[in-house]
Amino acid sequence: MKISNPRRIVGSNAERTRLHNRQVVLGHVRERQPIGRAEIARISGLSTQAVSNIIAELEEDRLLIEAGRQSEGRGLPVLKYRLNADGAVALGIEVRPDAMFGALVNLEGETLFTTREALPDNAPSTVVSVARRIRASALEGRCGKTQKILGAGVVMPGPFGKVGISGAGQSALHGWEDSDPVAVFEEALDMPVVVENDATAAAVAERVRGVATGLRTFCFIYFGAGLGLGVVAEGEVQRGAFGNAGEIGHVIVRPGGRLCACGNHGCLETYASRIAARTRLAGAGIEIGSASDIENLYRAGNAHLMEWIDEASGPLSQAVGLIENLFDPETVILGGAMPDAVLDHLIASLDLPGGSVAARAGRATPRVQRGSCGRLTAALGGAALVIHDTITPRIAAKT
Ligand SMILES: [Zn+2]
């Protein structure tokens, strides 16, 4: 699987400038709404005339609406604008080896629709037909004359491209090795598509509406089929040179330890992941499918599941220490396809290393905490990425 052109910016210079200025105006409106033209012009450095033209265009596109006039001391009350929350929507789709999740969010990031569909196999043709079904049910009765669809964020487990850990066992999507997911989903969904890995999308979801709201630098350990790491540093997601940064699951935590599907021995994923839990339980004759199977076992106090949590906590503690020393995050978030109760138990049983840059007095946030977006976190993140791309300038100075 290869991403041909992630987060592309197309068009002539003039077109790019126009799109950039639209993002600048939308970004200022989101941060300071309700806000008037003169104030946007002053903050952005654009001329008042340019701002007026952009606002007219954004009103036409139903992304902005008037928010009434407000007096600002002298002179006539000023006409203010705000985002038209329901004027536009974005679709998020997460593809996991055994299921697909869909979410529809509006311009303010509010969730309008969610769904889960079982996935019988990972062949692109199967995934595409389920994606079309999700699109149809998400948009049914919406997006007519009053709602614009901005695009879709499709979330898949990495790694992207043929690398040394491609196709590593149960966490990989099989059959996508030679496909370009951006092209496949743009054709299937008939809308612009961005493709992102699950851990990064989950981190974005937590920043837009979850426990990372207001944080600028944090990490997200994502329990998908395998284990991924999303890194947000200074408000920007970190992708690496080929979109594969954060393959924490294949970091070796026990040299000479268990054989991993990637060929290494002692990878984190063989101890602390759904695959590890599934393997542990299968050894005791217990088959698990969805996260709710794990939840039921946890509620019943299943001894094998408890032993797995004990076993996972050491390697996971070591990984958190490693992440802290590498990225100096404000916090490390755990989330994804694990029941909240299991994540809470895992967090409570961590024995975090004292020798870490994160072990300091006066912390404003805990070193490790659970995410709040639940099992839909990556699908919501996919949609949030589209919203983020619409209203955040990509090359402007941060505000
Ligand atoms: Zn591995």
Q: How far does the centroid of ligand 1 lie from the alpha carbon of residue 258, in Å?
A: 9
Strand order in the sheet with 78-83: 35-36, 78-83, 64-70
Query: Would you say 222 and 199 are in contact if contact means Cβ atoms under 8 Å apart?
Result: yes
Residue 388 pLDDT: 81
Q: How far does the centroid of ligand 1 lie from the alpha carbon of residue 238, in Å?
A: 21
Residue 5 pLDDT: 43
Helix and strand element counts for the chain (H, E): 11, 13
DSSP class of residue 171? G
CATH architecture of 214-372: 2-Layer Sandwich (3.30)
- The class level of CATH for 87-202+380-388 reads alpha beta
Tokens of 374: 């639940």
Helical packing angle, 291-299 and 340-348, nearest 10°: 60
Residue 365 pLDDT: 93
Q: How far does the centroid of ligand 1 lie from the alpha carbon of residue 87, in Å?
A: 44
String of DSSP letters for 134-150: HHHHHHTT-SSSS-EEE
**Residues whose Cβ atom is located within 5 A of ion ligand 1:** 250, 260, 262, 264, 267
Helix (H) or strand (E) holding 19: helix 13-32
Q: How far does the centroid of ligand 1 lie from the alpha carbon of residue 246, in Å?
A: 13
Q: How far does the centroid of ligand 1 lie from the alpha carbon of residue 315, in Å?
A: 14
Q: How far does the centroid of ligand 1 lie from the alpha carbon of residue 270, in Å?
A: 7
Residue 394 pLDDT: 55
Cα angle 58, 59, 64; round to 5: 80
Query: Do the two domains 87-202+380-388 and 214-372 of this chain adopt the same fold?
Result: yes
Closest by CA to 220, choosing from 332, 380, 370, is 332
pLDDT in tens, the chain (399 residues): 555 444 544 567 888 888 889 989 998 998 889 999 999 999 999 999 999 999 999 999 889 999 999 887 777 889 999 999 888 999 999 998 888 999 999 988 889 999 999 999 988 999 999 999 999 999 887 755 567 899 999 998 876 666 665 555 555 677 787 788 899 999 999 999 999 888 999 998 888 778 998 898 999 999 987 899 999 998 888 888 887 888 999 999 999 999 998 899 999 999 999 999 999 999 999 998 878 899 999 999 999 999 999 999 999 999 999 999 999 999 999 999 899 999 999 999 999 999 899 998 889 899 999 999 877 888 999 998 898 888 776 543 333
Q: How far does the centroid of ligand 1 lie from the alpha carbon of residue 218, in Å?
A: 24
Q: How far does the centroid of ligand 1 lie from the alpha carbon of residue 275, in Å?
A: 11
String of DSSP letters for 222-246: EESSSEEEEEEETTEE---TTS-TT
- The class level of CATH for 13-86 reads mainly alpha
Break the chain into its structural domains and give their ranges: 13-86, 87-202+380-388, 214-372
Q: How far does the centroid of ligand 1 lie from the alpha carbon of residue 281, in Å?
A: 20
